[in-house]
Structure 1
Amino acid sequence: MSLDSAPAIIAVVLVSLATLTIGTWGLRFSRTTSDFYVASRTVRPGLNASAIGGEYLSAASFLGIAGLVLVEGAEMLWYPIGWTAGYLVLLVLVAAPLRRSGAYTLPDFAEARLGSRQVRAMCALLVVAIGWLYLLPQLQGAGITLRLIADAPQWVGPVLVGGVVLVNVFAGGMRSITFVQAFQYWLKLTALLIPAAVLLVVWGNDGAPRTVRPIEWSLPLGTGGVEGLYLTYSLILATFLGTMGLPHVGVRFYTNPDGRAARRTTLSVLVLLGIFYLLPPIYGALGSVYGATPKHADTLVLVLPRLMVDGIVGELLTGLLCAGAFAAFLSTSSGLAIAVSGVVSQDVVTPLLRRYGHGIGGVAAFRIASVIAVAIPCVVALLTPGVGVARGVALAFAMAASTFCPLLILGIWWRRLTAPGATAGLTVGFLGTTVAVVWTLAGWESGSWWDAALARPAAWSVPLAFATMILVSLSTGDRVPAHTTRLLVRLHTPEPTSSGVR
């Protein structure tokens, strides 16, 4: 079905042009390698919080939550609760120490903490895997949106989003993308808020009898007995602990001036996310009242105005929502592209160029890496069948929670972590969730309990990764790096005392 809405098409074009314009304007501030990687660590908490909100509120947040609430009911509110609460865990355990580490990327932190090139290489692989896994639903969501509003082929959305993101990342790196993502947070909030207010007024003044599609709205812990409870608790674990392990989230904290600013940024993010997540459930509830069906799960937010309001008002509301949806695709894809580009540049492109005698590095290597970081997931998005946007993102959270979460928490708070322990834990977490991702995306449903265990693997993969990392570290206690105590003091010392330590 095509909405064939001129306002929607115009909105998508305007958002793309605005993104390119702001990114080009940000280019004037991007000159050094540090600008491209971490915006020279000068992004203030207010701007950084808006930028984090812009990149964190992905296709799953803008489109997926409403569809999940429509299909499954109120129990799906665990998604936004978990995605928001994840920042509370990050605030308490990780934000300030991670910034004080002075690293550019998560692999940088791992190498500084454990003194191991092997652990660094493993982390580089994980950043790329998680980043690309998270990129797929963004690109596929763009394809769904353009097919809906313009009857465009499925490949147009991924190519358009990939092209716009690549231009901005290639041109200005983190410094440029920060301005773009801050703008896109407020655009997304406005795009959901105004139509929601109008549609609630329409619903309030609608005297026609309405029948709500029967859903188990009153069960907050999941349906389906033991399996339902497992799915819910596994989702909670993945979203609570996965946030800190997302590469595009971690790299944002390196852009703050200091640890105190990182904490202030995180507090502001909690407020911004809390405001935003009040809105998608409204669309899910209204959809159940106005005849939306499960086939609308990934497009409910976009089609709801047409179901409730006839004429130009419905078209204009649809256009505004399409603008917000495309901002979601672009902002999250930009953050992921930056994170993956930084790792690919440092750990793949630059070493290869130096090995073969090319003196290219810094900004040039970053730009080469950005092409790789964007092009490959675009190709994969075109070749793989689409999955629900929220479902795909949930798998990325599970992988992050099973790998980087144990590394960060133990690396920051436990002195006895060793390189062999970290390697073993990362391997177990990565392999376990990779099996789950392949099983789920391939659609190998057997009708057994394996389906639930692999659809949401965090309940077993996170404890297994933690236990492996701890047990192997204890068995290799003589491998604790000599600099561990000095580094941990640096991570946990407030800035007024440690400001001279860099």
Structure 2
Amino acid sequence: MTVAAVVVVCLVTVLVSLFGLRVARSTRDFYVASRRVSPRMNASALAGEYISAASFLGVAGLIVAEGSYGLWYPLGYTAGCLTMLLFMTGPLRRSGAYTVPDFVSLRFSSSRLRVLTVMLVVLTGWLYIIPQLHGAALVASTAAGLPPWAGPVIVVLVVMATVMPGGMRSVTIAQAVQYWIKFCALLVPLVFILLQLGLLEPGTLANGQRPDFSAVWQEETAGAATEFYRTVSLILALMLGTIGLPHVLVRFYTNPDGDAARRTTFLLLVLLTGFYVLPVALGVIARGVLTQEADLGSPDSALLQLPGAVFAGAGADVLTAVVAGGAFAAFLSTTSGLVVSVSGVLSQEFFGGTVRGFRIGAVLAGALPLALATATTHVPLAGAVAMVFTFTASSLAPLLLLGIWWSKITAQGAVAGMVTGAAASLGSLGLALVLGSRTPGGEATVQADGALVLLQYPAPWCVPLAFAVTVLVSRLGTGKPPANTERVLARLHLPENP
């Protein structure tokens, strides 16, 4: 049943994308869907690609592993979208750019800064794709009984079949449908599990026992100061890291105007709020049910194991298949958005910005993460995504925020801030993985060593450092703000002509 569910989701994705292919005729269709995507369609597509493996499986898994700390993830994800609504959406759309490097060229007119931005955008996309493929490997091996490599291969092949023929136009429609697949894939199991356990009095599990929810939020902590610090780090990384995600930013270039971009983000907040209730509720139930199971294994598999712990026989198989199908929809939608953003940047920079160059870029965007995902071990999903958010918050967020809202920033300051933030965050997280026994997502016992905690959760010092370096070098360095600063800022902040 799980294999059948995955096949159905993949077929629906390809067939729906064919509808978009019918109207994809120009280069603008491939890159930004000719900037004619309505707010409702774009919000559904944005929600589809924003709800990744970490949201679908990782949030519930983190609640099972660490209790209340897992609740900060959906809050941080949603707060990140609110930050975009307030500071980014309108100006980015009014810039008229195709990609983040195009925006950088418009704002700074610096070839060196553009090349650096290309490198960071591509690296961010690759780093974000790998957790999606690890999640696909987990579902393939845990729920479908397939070899772990089969999941990533299926995801990449389906994404290539979706992206290469129609680009952004076909991906937009597929991602909008995938959001509702993911929503229903969690809503249906939640309803049946609540009915089985009893809304007022707990029912029995598949093994005949009753679930124990008395200690759901009891957890071992490393001290109040450490808990406060890592919570602040997580919220800061998720709020500002969202600003630097290339697959999210490129979505706003598809709206007709800045006002439509703001309406898109408002609708996105509504869709995300409705969705995140589901993994949180299922995670709380799983913590009360699966903690009795000795063979839980990876916390990321909690949602896949929950139906089998509550039901017996065909009911468990059907609900597990539904969850697995929704998980694959998450992998496909996020990966396709990342491939579109990375391939657009690669095509614009190295292949002349043509449709053929876009397709070559799509192959490169998917091939390297596939090789890395199959060659590396599974990293807890929420932790891996938290690392990417920390990286983008430290490297791309200062460039974009200050570039939009501060007229005194210089290309020299932007380069210094990006290099400092990227080096500090990557170096800190890499050193933490070498020295520590866990990743920066909160999936295991927190280390008591204060220095290691600072490395595992570097956002509170990496992000201010990157902003400070950008400001200081811009004010004290030899560089000057671009000569066209006033004209560009007026274009970013003034309403478009009707």
TM-score, normalised on structure 2? 0.93
Q: What letter is aligned with 1:313? A: G
Q: CA deviation at 1:108?
A: 0.7
- Counterpart in the other structure of 1:480: 481
**Counterparts of 1:389-404 in structure 2 under 5 Å?**
389-404=381-396
Provide the aligned C-alpha RMSD in A. Answer: 1.7
Q: CA deviation at 1:212?
A: 3.9
Any conservation in 2 of the 1:40–1:255 contact (CA below 8 Å)? Answer: yes
Any conservation in 1 of the 2:185–2:325 contact (CA below 8 Å)? Answer: yes
User: Deviation string for 1:279-318 (max 9, x for gaps)?
Assistant: 1111211112223456241111111011001121221111
Q: What letter is aligned with 1:62? A: F
Q: CA deviation at 1:215?
A: 5.3
- Counterpart in the other structure of 1:138: 132
User: Deviation string for 1:337-361 (max 9, x for gaps)?
Assistant: 00111111111333xxxxxxxxxx5
Q: What letter is aligned with 1:253? A: F
Q: Partner of 2:143: helix, strand, or coil?
A: helix
User: Deviation string for 1:466-498 (max 9, x for gaps)?
Assistant: 000000000137511110001101111012xx3
- Counterpart in the other structure of 1:319: 321
Check 1:332–1:443 CA distance in 2 against 1; reply closer, same or farther (3 A cut): farther
Whole-angstrom CA distance in 1 between matches of 2:299 and 2:430:
23
**Counterparts of 1:430-441 in structure 2 under 5 Å?**
430-441=422-433
Whole-angstrom CA distance in 1 between matches of 2:317 and 2:428:
41
Aligned length in residues: 479
- Counterpart in the other structure of 1:86: 80
Whole-angstrom CA distance in 2 between matches of 1:268 and 1:209:
40
Any conservation in 1 of the 2:242–2:389 contact (CA below 8 Å)? Answer: yes
Whole-angstrom CA distance in 1 between matches of 2:211 and 2:309:
13
- Counterpart in the other structure of 2:403: 411
Q: CA deviation at 1:230?
A: 1.2
User: Deviation string for 1:68-114 (max 9, x for gaps)?
Assistant: 00111112111000000111111011110010001111111111101
- Counterpart in the other structure of 1:301: 303
Are residues 1:196 and 2:190 paired?
Answer: yes
Check 1:151–1:487 CA distance in 2 against 1; reply closer, same or farther (3 A cut): same
- Counterpart in the other structure of 1:355: none
Whole-angstrom CA distance in 2 between matches of 1:200 and 1:315:
17
Any conservation in 1 of the 2:429–2:458 contact (CA below 8 Å)? Answer: no
Whole-angstrom CA distance in 2 between matches of 1:364 and 1:164:
19
Any conservation in 2 of the 1:71–1:215 contact (CA below 8 Å)? Answer: no
Q: Partner of 2:251: helix, strand, or coil?
A: helix
Whole-angstrom CA distance in 2 between matches of 1:264 and 1:218:
40
Are residues 1:182 and 2:176 paired?
Answer: yes
Whole-angstrom CA distance in 2 between matches of 1:63 and 1:97:
33
Structure 1: runs of 5+ lacking an equivalent: 1-6, 351-360
Whole-angstrom CA distance in 2 between matches of 1:443 and 1:101:
43
Whole-angstrom CA distance in 1 between matches of 2:195 and 2:227:
35
**Counterparts of 1:20-39 in structure 2 under 5 Å?**
20-39=14-33
Any conservation in 1 of the 2:47–2:176 contact (CA below 8 Å)? Answer: yes
* Stretch deviating more after TM superposition (109-118 or 47-56): 109-118
Structure 2: runs of 5+ lacking an equivalent: 438-446
Q: CA deviation at 1:203?
A: 1.2
Any conservation in 2 of the 1:213–1:288 contact (CA below 8 Å)? Answer: no
Whole-angstrom CA distance in 2 between matches of 1:136 and 1:57:
15
Q: CA deviation at 1:224?
A: 2.6
Q: CA deviation at 1:244?
A: 1.1
* Stretch deviating more after TM superposition (203-212 or 280-289): 203-212
Are residues 1:65 and 2:59 paired?
Answer: yes
Q: Partner of 1:279: helix, strand, or coil?
A: helix
Q: CA deviation at 1:150?
A: 2.6
Q: CA deviation at 1:433?
A: 1.5
- Counterpart in the other structure of 2:49: 55
Any conservation in 1 of the 2:290–2:302 contact (CA below 8 Å)? Answer: no
Q: CA deviation at 1:452?
A: 1.7
Whole-angstrom CA distance in 1 between matches of 2:395 and 2:210:
51
Which of 148, 151, 155 is the aligned partner of 2:142?
148
Check 1:151–1:443 CA distance in 2 against 1; reply closer, same or farther (3 A cut): farther
Any conservation in 1 of the 2:62–2:299 contact (CA below 8 Å)? Answer: yes
Check 1:164–1:433 CA distance in 2 against 1; reply closer, same or farther (3 A cut): same
**Counterparts of 1:178-257 in structure 2 under 5 Å?**
178-204=172-198, 206=203, 209-212=210-213, 214=215, 216-217=217-218, 224-257=223-256
Whole-angstrom CA distance in 2 between matches of 1:140 and 1:210:
30
Whole-angstrom CA distance in 2 between matches of 1:194 and 1:80:
20
Any conservation in 2 of the 1:53–1:273 contact (CA below 8 Å)? Answer: yes
Whole-angstrom CA distance in 1 between matches of 2:327 and 2:433:
23
Q: CA deviation at 1:155?
A: 1.0
- Counterpart in the other structure of 2:260: 261
Q: Partner of 1:290: helix, strand, or coil?
A: helix
Q: What letter is aligned with 1:113? A: R
* Stretch deviating more after TM superposition (225-234 or 187-196): 225-234
Q: Partner of 1:417: helix, strand, or coil?
A: coil
Q: What letter is aligned with 2:477? A: T
Q: What letter is aligned with 1:432? A: A
Any conservation in 1 of the 2:215–2:288 contact (CA below 8 Å)? Answer: no
- Counterpart in the other structure of 2:354: 362
- Counterpart in the other structure of 2:452: 451
Q: CA deviation at 1:27?
A: 1.0
- Counterpart in the other structure of 2:343: 341
Q: CA deviation at 1:158?
A: 0.9
Are residues 1:376 and 2:368 paired?
Answer: yes
Whole-angstrom CA distance in 2 between matches of 1:346 and 1:89:
28
Any conservation in 2 of the 1:72–1:215 contact (CA below 8 Å)? Answer: no
Are residues 1:428 and 2:420 paired?
Answer: yes
User: Deviation string for 1:342-395 (max 9, x for gaps)?
Assistant: 111111333xxxxxxxxxx51001101110000000000011111001111001
Are residues 1:106 and 2:107 paired?
Answer: no
Whole-angstrom CA distance in 1 between matches of 2:433 and 2:329:
26
